[in-house]
Chains A and B, each alone.
Chain A
Amino acid sequence: MNRRDYLIRKLGLALVTIFVVVIINFLLFRVLPGDPVRSVIGRNVRISADTQQALREQFGLDKPIFPDQFLDTLGQWARGNLGVSWSLRKPVNEILLSKLWNTLLLIGIGQILAILLGVTLGLIAGWKRKSAVDVGALTFSLIAWATPTFWLGIILLAAGSTWLGLPTGGIVSPANVGKPLYTVIPDVAHHLILPTLTLTILYLGEYMLIMRSSILEVLSEDYILTAKAKGMSHWQVLRKHALKNAMLPIVTLIALNLGFTVSGAIYIETVFSYDGLGKMFQIALVKQDYPLLQGAFLLLAISVIIANMLADILYTYLDPRVKAT
């Protein structure tokens, strides 16, 4: 199979997956217990039974799930319209887009840092196995990987705000809302330090451990011994022979993690009151806001599928065996 056929097959599979996800999305939230109208208004003493019924009609919940609600939803989506959020009263497309940028900013920087540091640490630890560096990095990574997100976030928030004067939450200071970008950017960077640091520490351990075990496995291969026997320097062996092969599991991991990036780091966004997709997911679920939930899960599914496709494509370059299968 050549690369083009391989890609076409992958693309076809991705489209089928998205369609299945759309249907599951629709069904999944409707089997949740409870009444969305009640979830949106809460135990609100001002809302009479008649008003609740009026809201139900407004949301289209008075119609049968099949075929009316299902066809309405599919029709809307086919037109690229994800509907209007019941709880926020705004188009879902608009909400998702605004949150997506914030989340990409936070997770993107955190992931890049975690990848750079984790892979480097893993490489050094694997190469210098059983050295003090290896033991230190391994211990740190295991602890970092096992640390509960919420706990680490709160600890860093308390330490950072008390000793370094870093902000306790939000994405921008109230004083800078509506100010020009040159004022806002340093402020946003200031607000990003603690959540980014939390995210970096949490992911770093994972990358380090995978990279370390991967490099150890590669280093035990015969071709590494051959390379060494040819008189290549350590650095040359590492760069030309070990690194490329050891990167394969990391590529998978990066793809998986990036895919889930859009779901945001729910805990981190909650600890730091960060206005991103993760926090929005949680609110939408609590409020049983079907249009918002469906839109958010569709976005999540598409991003995971795209990230996996990218990983597959990258594999064809990194590992020539892949396109032949």
Chain B
Amino acid sequence: MSKSRWLFTIFLALAVLLTACGPKATPAPENPVSTSAVTQAPASGTTEPVVLRIGWLGAPDTLNPAYAFLVESFTVFDLAYSTLTTQAPTGEYVGNLAKDWSVSDDGLTWTFTLKDGIKWHNGEDFKASDMAWAINAVMSNPDGWAAVSNYVAGFSEITAPDDKTVTITTEYPVSNMDYRVSWLYAVYPKDFEGFTTSEDLQNFTNFDIVGTGPFKMNTFDKDKGILILDTNPEYFDGKAKIDQVIFQTFDNSDAMIQAIKVGDIDMIIDVPQSAFASLKDVAGVEPVSVDGSYFDELIINSVPANHDPAPTKNPALDDPQVRLALAQSINKQDLVQIVMQDLGKPGVTIVPPTLGGGYWTNTDIQDIPFDLTAANDTLEKAGYVMGADGVRAKGDMRLEFRLQFPSDNPVYARSADMLTSWFGQAGIKTTPEAVDPDSLYAQMTPTGDFDLVLWGWGPDPDPDFILSVLTSDQFVDGGWSDSGYMNPAYDQLYLDQQAATDKAQRRQIIFKMQKIAFDDRPYIVLYYQDLLRAYRSDRFTGFIASPIGIESYQSLLQVEPVN
């Protein structure tokens, strides 16, 4: 045995010895919510439970839908709770608790009919009045239900005329009701009654979720990063083929990748782009890449010069020809290949093609091709003359811009370097600068103190939200407009699409909005990021790869062991 191996063995032996004789092993779970031990007989009653172990890089902040902010919380809600409707892997909205639904001729009353045989996890029958109670709870205390209160905007009354029917009456026609109710969870009324203040409600962690979803709570030990769900044998749409799902939190992606390679876990939710390729060579591991809705964009300061407070920016950015030249100078294909490592698609409009399965994306819009000669021509014709220092100028207006990006994502630094190089070849000088994300936001909204910024969005499944970030009234403190774009015609179309209960009509309005945004260029969408996942194909099969992720409840209902 070599000296180094000998030393290694000694260390290991000592470590084992000392740890085994160590002090108190670990404190009891802070929230001892375990209702049953992990290895207790599973729902199916087989001797060996089929357990799907999922690794992720986060953990739910809370399991209370009133106050949950992190995407991990919503992943758990998707599995444990149900909603009237849900987004299908294909992108359209289908019934979940609801068998079918209809809207009155005036577009103000929606009637949902529930499916049969729905039961709470505790065995009680689920009634329409429970659903009505849950939505009413949000409506009566929007501050307390901060995480979902946006979805009841305009709702005036919720009733349950009988055990199978829920009606929602609205103050004005709501075009995207199917999407809105897909975020309103059927929470167990007895769990959420009796909170006198919003703070009390929000401090309720709800680690013992009682829902109607296909999986029910077993354990959530937040400190140890372990969340265990058991299959709900009484699930109204047929029980899952696996017995248990365990989520395990990793604090760094390298360890998580190693865990799936050695088989410690069966599936990964957040695969880093840098590790994706390496998983292709691992026997028994299947990396999955599907089109995603997250995109990164170049934000151009579009705050009108007469806005109060006045923006601080290079006024050349108000020139449409300068914006066009910027667009002509960006090689999106290279960005996808180099920055995204080929795990994305060049971006065109602010409505990614994954929303609604592509239904909402205006594919008639032709992107501006990358052409540095054309960019130089555009600027030359617009009167921007190349200076001796390689920077174009029109009078004393030099094409010299700040190019800022949030410091928490290394991808932007790389993109900024590439953009700076291309812009430089068109006579546009940009200076990349990483800024703390919060400071950058404060600098942008509603101050308008920036030129160009690289940032990204993860849109909701319905186009309403991503369209709203370019409306004028979002450019306020706490609002979501970071470009400061203000266009009354766009704003009016935004309101129109909200009221258009006819889906085809709404689509046409949304197409127009995308065209306006594309032509005015408050954003130049750089690329849409692929959604990256991986699973052990030697152990499990049946995952549904779609933009909603292989971890969606629809997917986990189909998953089964290979043997």
Interface residue ranges, A against B (CB under 8 Å):
33-35, 38-55, 58, 87-90, 94, 97-99, 101-102, 104-105, 108-109, 112-113, 136, 154, 157-158, 161-162, 164-165, 167-172, 174-179, 181, 184-186, 188-190, 192-193, 196-197, 200-201, 269-275, 279, 288
**Are B262 and A38 closer than 8 Å at their CB atoms?**
no
A174:B146 contact, CB within 8 angstroms: no
B221, A52: Cβ atoms under 8 Å?
A: no
16 CB < 8 A contacts A-B: A40-B69, A45-B459, A46-B150, A47-B147, A54-B146, A54-B198, A113-B14, A113-B18, A162-B261, A168-B255, A169-B251, A178-B32, A193-B19, A196-B18, A272-B251, A273-B252
**Do A270 and B251 contact each other (CB < 8 Å), given the known contacts A162-B262, A179-B37, A185-B25?**
yes
Identify 4 new A-B residue pairs, CB closer than 8 A, beyond the known A34-B438, A168-B255, A271-B255. Answer: A105-B23, A184-B25, A188-B26, A270-B251
For A159, give the chain B residue with the smallest CB separation.
B8
- Assembled-state Cα–Cα distance A53/B226 (Å): 33
Residue in B224, B246, B436 whose CB lies within 8 Å of A172:
B224
Across the interface, name the chain B residue whose C-beta is closest to A287: B61
Rounded to whole angstroms, the CA-CA distance of A139 and B25 in the bound complex is 35
Knowing A89-B202, A154-B254, A193-B12, say if A275 contacts B223 (CB, 8 Å).
Answer: yes
Say yes or no for B470: interface residue by CB 8 A criterion: no
> Which of B320-328, B471-479, B502-510 contacts its partner?
B471-479
* Cα A34 to Cα B407 with chains together (Å): 13
Question: Separation in Å of the A154 CB from the closest CB of chain B?
Answer: 5
Contact B262 A197 (CB under 8 A): no
Kindly report which residue of chain B lies nearest to residue A35, judged by CB atoms.
B438
A7–B495 Cα gap in the complex (Å)? 73
> Closest CB-CB distance, B201 to chain A, in whole Å?
11
- Counting chain A CB atoms within 10 Å of each CB, the highest count among B15, B16, B442 belongs to B15
User: Cβ of B27 and Cβ of A98 under 8 Å apart?
Assistant: yes
Do A178 and B264 touch (CB < 8 A)? no
Query: Are the C-beta atoms of A51 and B143 separated by less than 8 Å?
Result: yes
By a CB distance below 8 angstroms, the chain A residues around B249 are: 170, 273
Please name all residues of chain B whose beta carbon is closer than 8 Å to the beta carbon of A175 when the two chains form the complex: 38-39
Residue contact B251 to A196, C-beta cutoff 8 Å: no
Choose among B14, B198, B203, B248 the residue that contacts A174 (Cβ–Cβ < 8 A): B248
- How many cross-chain pairs have Cβ atoms below 8 Å apart between A and B? 211
B1-44 toward A: CB 8 Å interface, digit per residue (1/0)?
Answer: 00100000001101110111011111101101010011100000
A161 near B264: Cβ-Cβ < 8 Å? yes
Nearest 7 pairs of A and B residues by beta carbon: A34-B438, A49-B478, A189-B19, A178-B34, A168-B259, A33-B439, A273-B251
Interface centre among A165, A184, A196 (most CB of B within 10 A): A196
Residue of A nearest to B144 (CB): A54
Within the assembled complex, what's the spacing in Å between the Cα atoms of A37 and B353?
32
The answer to whether the Cβ of B424 comes within 8 Å of any Cβ in the partner chain is no
Contacts of A161 in B (CB 8 A): 258-259, 262, 264
Q: Which of A51, A53, A161, A168 has the most B CB atoms < 10 Å from its CB?
A: A168
Please tell me if B401 contacts chain A, counting CB pairs below 8 Å.
no
Whether B349 sits at the interface, judged by CB under 8 Å, is no
A200 to B458, CA, bound (A): 42
Q: Are B70 and A42 in contact (CB under 8 A)?
A: yes
A-side contacts of B485, CB under 8 Å: none
Choose from A170, A188, A274 the contact partner of B248 (Cβ within 8 Å).
Answer: A170
B205 within 8 A of A: yes
Contacts A49-B476, A55-B146 given; does A109 touch B219 at CB 8 Å = no
- B15 near A109 with CB under 8 A, answer yes
A196-B19 in contact (CB<8A): yes
In the complex, how many angstroms separate the beta carbon of B142 from the nearest chain A beta carbon?
8
Query: Please, how many angstroms separate the alpha-carbon atoms of A169 and B268 in the complex?
Result: 14
Contacting pair A170 B225 (CB below 8 A): yes
Closest residue of chain B to A53 (Cβ to Cβ) is B478
A104 CB to nearest chain B CB (Å)? 8
User: Given A102-B26, A179-B37, A273-B251, are A109 and B258 neighbors across the interface (CB < 8 Å)?
Assistant: no
| CA–CA, A142 and B256, complex, Å | 30
Chain B residues within an 8 Å CB radius of A55: 146
| B195 interfacial by beta-carbon distance below 8 Å | no
Q: Does B430 contact A (CB under 8 A)?
A: no
Bound-complex Cα distance A279 to B57 (A): 13
Question: Is A192 touching B19 in the complex (CB atoms < 8 A)?
Answer: yes
Q: A48, A176, A178: which contacts B478 (Cβ < 8 A)?
A: A48
